[in-house]
């Protein structure tokens, strides 16, 4: 098979993405605004119509063989069942399809595979709006966020994995003539080097970011020569099913085996996750989800000697020390904790504030004033019908609502109770404004747990130094995906940078305006440092791709 | 501290080594001949005098604090005790020295660390001849091999690890100004990226290649920012002690903590290996040695979540199919199995030969003729007093001699018995010529074990295809560091390449003349594919360095 045309077609994309990835500069191959001007004036309406047309029917379009029975238990967090059913495949069928497809995929060059990956993404991008609605009504994200997170942002993360994998598999030349001088004679060998894939990948997805968190592992596996099985959460199948259907269609168009990318489905009561992870045909594991399941997946991987890439969860901290403009800071923080109701792995949970107050220029603002203002900001968002509902979105999992009840029973001082939020057009939406409480620094038993959802703790401290020490310890013990520090003191910024980087967390300093600590940009921000208990992987450092293949060489003696 | 001068001093070495490493062309920074013309006319005599002067004394020159007691039980395989004693340090002392040194080493830039590593190597290279004698009289290698393996070849492998690690830690830019256009406004962040070391490395060395197998892990760790503790085999301390003494001296000269590189010593009866590997301060493990200890080290690493890089052992196979010149082939193979008495992890053990004979051009040479000729070649070497003793060297471990007795009791047909070899000047040397036997292909219970030492099996097969299938299975089950194939048929070469590469072993085709399958050249040959049961690491692919650090970023909002 010859993919030279495809390689040429996408060469500019690869070049641009690879350059941005190395330089860590801003780059987006797919624009993030869900705008008719960019994606076509009817794109939104068409996407919504496609979404509505999928409901209450068997999902059509997958080219994956060997299905046995069907499943489907998705419900929109906005308050209605989707009623879509999906085929189900046994673990053995998925494995044998993967092993067959692996033979074909292994034989392609890294350049061919990278070009094919981009073609897969480009064709699937035509479904961005339907993917957005599918994501909104499975995860509970507001539409704009759902569009961006599962569309352009996820696709850019996939492209990032593709160019990083391409760089790593082609770092060493693939052939050479090696001549060793030995005094009066010399020896010549022809050498060839092969980036040999480790074998089928299984990417286990989560219920909140079904595409964004799964694409990196899938595409890092694909570009390095491994086929992939994408195991979706039983309550959040639709967005990935749509992508896989598009991918399989493109693979078939290109004369390739559609089973190079397979969907794996199951139910809440009969999960296949562990059986799939343990299957001997599966050689590489990617996982995003809860620490408990993640730790079991890591244990399976260790037992079986499989490379594993995990993002579990952490406890993200904020330190407030001194500010230029307290309003701008609190606006930013209030939005960060409100966005998708704290259901982002990157959302802050614990905010450390000196009891002595915050310096704003020469002015000292009392601790009580700071927390009162913070609560006001959240109230304002909750009371803003245009802003609040779309920012909060809906709660993906009923357990998160129960967590709101549990947290109010802890030994904390409630500063703001969560309140039901009306989502227009969706009367039964599971939607709440954030809960905020003060907890003593002496109660890590409360605040050093992850309270996934719209739950924020304010923790008064003696000093910046105490806050930094506390956050350092928390990162080492509980892990963190992000940390935010607000200070106008260069010495404290430097101290925080040195300490927290060594603890293994990325740090955002003084974020205000339309940029939030929760956000992690493809080609620039390493997501999940891989250096603390929140997970062992990072989108997309070199380790994220180099552990998916081996370099193996052949040497042929040339008689001279 | 400023190492700009050192960076400039070694910039050309780094550039040349990095280019060769990518292009996989021949490159040697340190010439391999132990020649007076290269290293100075008195270098050999001086080295030998230094060696003799070390005997029966406490080893001097280490700058490592906190020693408690001393140990020393080295005996030359050439038949005399060395009588050198070395300081011993508790695991806790080694760990706390490492943790202290780590703080200083972490702060240096990758470029500084690479230049310092090269300075360490350059200064230690002045001890090549003493290192050669120290290696000869601990491992049993002949002097020329000892000089090359522990000197230039090992140092080049270290340089390879340094440039690979430098490339990986500097692949992504370390700072950027990131500007995201957002319609009429934009957001700008200053970003900094840090390659954060995982922390202290422990490299566990072996008794046969104390420097060659340990330097890659040590220098891959060092260049990526991690201090290292080099745990030597209790019977083979001297070569590494000499290198570490030189390294510590250089570190002190440069104003650095000598504990950036520490020696760890123990005794056969009271090993500290597992205690050291399990110590929480040790974050990265490298291991070369037996499969049983290696598997325990891997288990410790998995349990503790530490990256681990192992070379254990495999069963290396050869397939004879067809040749241009049988004599040249058998000369080459006879030398390969004789070199250092098969005590190389890369030495062939099992030679598969079709019962129907070997084609040499149009001529068919009978199987019996082939094996008779092969035995003749070994006899000729054994009877050649100039060639034999230096090639065989001496047997490092008494257990290998017992293995020669054990193998003769198996159900094999002895073609050639091992015989004592006289090493001139060393009457008590433990030295033998190779044992060769024929074993039926139906007895994998015999030949699929690793018979470490001068033991070779000839396995008659029905066909090339049967041989290839057998070798494929053997690589998958028993692992292999090398595989050699002799064929003049392009179709069979292609079939063997595809099959064996996918099995995970490097392949050498048609080696004759002064190049042997046992040899693995720095900057060109990936040693230990990391893709089969013989070990999980490869000198030095990208994984060998990328798993020793994490990329972590900080973002600072710039108000505009």
Give the tens place of pLDDT for each residue, A237-295: 999 999 999 999 999 999 999 999 999 999 999 999 999 999 999 999 999 999 999 99
By the 10 Å C-beta count (0-12 exposed, 13-18 middle, 19+ buried), B488 is classed as middle
B529 vs A550: CB contact, 8 Å cut-off? yes
Query: Beta strands B317-320 and B308-311: pairing type?
Result: unpaired
User: Which tokens in the block code for residue A203?
Assistant: 């990417």
> Average pLDDT in the A3-20 region?
98
Both A341 and A465 in one domain: the answer is: yes
| pLDDT attached to residue A378 | 98
List CB contacts (< 8 A) between B559 and chain A. Answer: 324, 512
Residues 6+ apart with CB under 8 A from A3: A108, A112, A115, A116, A254
**Using CB atoms, which residue from B24, B531, B552 is nearest to A504?**
B552
Q: Show the CA angle centred on residue B524, arms to residues B523 and B525, nearest 5°.
A: 115
A24 part of a folded domain: no
Both A141 and A187 in one domain: the answer is: yes
B180 vs A508: CB contact, 8 Å cut-off? no
Instruction: Give A280 to chain B, closest Cα distance, Å.
Output: 13
| pLDDT attached to residue B435 | 98
Read off the pLDDT band of A37 (50, 70, 90): very high
List CB contacts (< 8 A) between B502 and chain A. Answer: 106, 196
User: Which residue from A538, A522, A528, A519 is spatially nearest to A121, judged by alpha carbons?
Assistant: A522
Give the tens place of pLDDT for each residue, B207-258: 999 999 999 999 999 999 999 999 999 999 999 999 999 999 999 999 999 9
By the 10 Å C-beta count (0-12 exposed, 13-18 middle, 19+ buried), A256 is classed as buried
Instruction: Give A484 to chain B, closest Cα distance, Å.
Output: 9
Instruction: Give A230 to chain B, closest Cα distance, Å.
Output: 24
Strand, coil or helix: what is A511?
coil
Suggest the residue from B487, B529, B552, B558 to mutate for an interface test with chain A (most A CBs closer than 10 A): B552
**CB hemisphere CA count around B241 (13 angstroms):** 27
Both B61 and B159 in one domain: the answer is: yes
- Helices B110-124 and B152-169 sit at what angle, rounded to 10 degrees? 180
| pLDDT attached to residue B529 | 84
Give the tens place of pLDDT for each residue, B113-158: 999 999 999 999 999 999 999 999 999 999 999 999 999 999 999 9
User: Which residue from A76, A313, A339, A344 is spatially nearest to A208, judged by alpha carbons?
Assistant: A344
DSSP designation for A366 = P
> Average pLDDT in the B373-400 region?
97
Both B350 and B427 in one domain: the answer is: yes
> Average pLDDT in the A431-441 region?
98
Q: SS3 breakdown of chain A: % helix, strand, coil, rounded to 5?
A: 45, 20, 35
B129 part of a folded domain: yes
User: Which tokens in the block code for residue B171?
Assistant: 């692949």
CATH of the domain at B47: 3.40.605.10
Instruction: Please check the confidence at residue A527 and state whether its pLDDT lies above 60.
Output: yes
Identify whether the C-beta of residue A101 lies closer than 8 Å to the C-beta of residue A94: no
Count the domains in chain A: 2
Both B304 and B331 in one domain: the answer is: no
Phi-psi map region of A237: left, alpha, beta (phi>0 left; psi -120 to 50 alpha): alpha
Q: H or E segment at A304?
A: helix A291-304
Both A118 and A179 in one domain: the answer is: yes
**CB hemisphere CA count around A314 (13 angstroms):** 35
User: Which tokens in the block code for residue A87?
Assistant: 């085929």
Size of interface A-B (CB pairs under 8 A): 212
* CA B253, chain centre distance (Å): 29
By the 10 Å C-beta count (0-12 exposed, 13-18 middle, 19+ buried), B198 is classed as buried
Instruction: Please check the confidence at residue B560 and state whether its pLDDT lies above 60.
Output: no
Among chain A residues, the shortest Cα distance to B514 is held by: A187
A14 part of a folded domain: no
B216 part of a folded domain: yes
A101 part of a folded domain: yes
Suggest the residue from A180, A281, A346 to mutate for an interface test with chain B (most B CBs closer than 10 A): A180
| pLDDT attached to residue B303 | 87
| pLDDT attached to residue A447 | 97
Both B405 and B436 in one domain: the answer is: yes
Both A297 and A371 in one domain: the answer is: no
List CB contacts (< 8 A) between A302 and chain B. Answer: 302-303
Both A362 and A429 in one domain: the answer is: yes
> Average pLDDT in the A336-365 region?
97
Both A414 and A324 in one domain: the answer is: yes
Among chain A residues, the shortest Cα distance to B536 is held by: A305
Among chain A residues, the shortest Cα distance to B505 is held by: A552
| pLDDT attached to residue A496 | 98
Read off the pLDDT band of A558 (50, 70, 90): confident
Q: Tell me the β-bridge partners of B13.
A: none
Domain that includes residue A182, residue range: 53-312+537-555
User: Which residue from B210, B212, B204, B208 is spatially nearest to B148, judged by alpha carbons?
Assistant: B212
B524 vs A171: CB contact, 8 Å cut-off? no
List CB contacts (< 8 A) between B547 and chain A. Answer: 543, 546-547
* HEC string for A137-164: HHHCCCHHHHHHHHCHHHHHHHHHHHHH
User: Which tokens in the block code for residue A49?
Assistant: 């119509």
DSSP designation for A40 = -
Both A364 and A472 in one domain: the answer is: yes
A17 part of a folded domain: no
User: Which tokens in the block code for residue B245?
Assistant: 């003494």
**Using CB atoms, which residue from A23, A512, A557 is nearest to B176?**
A23
B28 part of a folded domain: no
Instruction: Give B26 to chain A, closest Cα distance, Å.
Output: 5
Instruction: Please check the confidence at residue A199 and state whether its pLDDT lies above 70.
Output: yes
Average pLDDT, chain A: 97
Q: Order across the sheet with A483-486: list the strands.
A: A413-416, A435-438, A455-461, A350-354, A317-320, A483-486, A507-509, B549-557, B185-197, B175-182
CATH of the domain at B504: 3.40.309.10
Give the tens place of pLDDT for each residue, B331-355: 999 999 999 999 999 999 999 999 9
B523 part of a folded domain: no
Give the tens place of pLDDT for each residue, A375-401: 999 999 999 999 999 999 999 999 999
**Using CB atoms, which residue from A521, A546, A553 is nearest to B525?**
A553
Give the tens place of pLDDT for each residue, B427-449: 999 999 999 999 999 999 999 99
Both B352 and B300 in one domain: the answer is: no
**Using CB atoms, which residue from A22, A168, A546 is nearest to B173?**
A22
List CB contacts (< 8 A) between A23 and chain B. Answer: 173, 176
Phi-psi map region of A56: left, alpha, beta (phi>0 left; psi -120 to 50 alpha): left
CA distance B450 to B471: 14
Instruction: Please check the confidence at residue A560 and state whether its pLDDT lies above 80.
Output: no
**Phi and psi for A180 in degrees, rounded to 5?**
-100, 115
B324 vs A559: CB contact, 8 Å cut-off? yes
């Amino acid at each position: 098979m010859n993919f030279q045309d495809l390689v040429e077609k996408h060469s500019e994309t690869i070049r641009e993405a690879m350059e941005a990835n190395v330089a860590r500069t801003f780059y987006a191959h797919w624009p993030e605004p869900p705008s008719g001007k960019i994606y076509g004036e009817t794109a939104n309406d068409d996407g919504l119509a496609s979404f509505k047309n999928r409901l209450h029917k068997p999902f059509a379009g997958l080219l994956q063989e060997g299905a046995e029975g069907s499943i489907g238990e998705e419900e929109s967090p906005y308050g209605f069942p989707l009623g879509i059913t999906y085929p189900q495949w046994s673990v053995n069928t998925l494995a044998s399809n993967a092993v067959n497809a692996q033979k074909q995929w292994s034989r392609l060059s890294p350049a061919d595979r990278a070009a094919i990956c981009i073609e897969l993404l480009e064709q699937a991008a035509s479904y961005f709006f339907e993917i957005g609605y599918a994501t909104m009504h499975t995860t509970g994200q507001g539409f704009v966020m759902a569009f961006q997170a599962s569309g352009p942002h996820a696709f850019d993360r996939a492209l990032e994995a593709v160019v990083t994998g391409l760089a790593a598999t082609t770092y060493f030349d693939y052939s050479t003539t090696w001549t060793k001088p030995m005094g009066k004679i010399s020896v010549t060998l022809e050498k060839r080097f092969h980036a040999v894939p480790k074998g089928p990948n299984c990417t286990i997805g989560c219920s909140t970011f079904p595409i964004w968190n799964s694409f990196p592992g899938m595409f890092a596996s694909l570009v390095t020569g491994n086929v992939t099985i994408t195991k979706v959460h039983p309550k959040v199948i639709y967005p990935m099913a749509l992508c896989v259907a598009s991918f399989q269609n493109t693979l078939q168009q290109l004369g390739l085996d559609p089973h190079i990318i397979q969907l794996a489905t199951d139910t809440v009561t009969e999960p296949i996750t562990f059986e799939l992870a343990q299957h001997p045909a599966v050689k590489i594991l990617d996982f995003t989800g809860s620490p408990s399941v993640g730790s079991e997946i890591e244990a399976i991987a260790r037992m079986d000697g499989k490379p594993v890439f995990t993002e579990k969860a952490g406890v993200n901290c904020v330190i407030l020390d001194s500010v230029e403009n307290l309003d701008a800071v609190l606006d930013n923080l209030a939005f960060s904790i409100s966005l998708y109701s704290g259901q982002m792995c990157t959302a802050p949970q614990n905010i450390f504030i000196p009891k002595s107050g915050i310096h704003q220029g020469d002015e000292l603002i009392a601790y009580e004033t700071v927390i009162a203002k913070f609560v006001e900001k959240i109230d304002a968002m909750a009371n803003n019908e245009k802003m609040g509902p779309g920012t909060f979105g809906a709660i993906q999992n009923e357990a998160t609502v129960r967590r709101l009840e549990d947290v109010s029973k802890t030994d904390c001082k409630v500063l703001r109770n969560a309140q039901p939020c009306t989502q227009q057009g969706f009367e039964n939406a599971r939607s709440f404004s954030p809960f905020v409480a003060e907890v003593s620094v002496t109660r890590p038993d409360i605040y050093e747990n992850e309270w996934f959802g719209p739950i924020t703790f304010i923790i008064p401290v003696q000093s910046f130094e105490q806050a930094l020490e506390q956050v350092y310890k928390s990162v080492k013990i509980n892990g963190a995906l992000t940390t935010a520090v607000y200070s106008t003191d260069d010495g404290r910024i430097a101290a925080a940078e040195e300490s927290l980087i060594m603890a293994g967390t990325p740090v955002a300093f003084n974020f205000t305006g339309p940029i939030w600590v929760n956000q992690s940009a493809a080609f620039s921000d390493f997501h999940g440092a891989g250096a603390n208990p929140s997970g062992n992987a990072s989108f997309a450092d070199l380790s994220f791709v180099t552990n998916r293949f081996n370099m193996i060489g052949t040497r042929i003696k040339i008689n001279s």
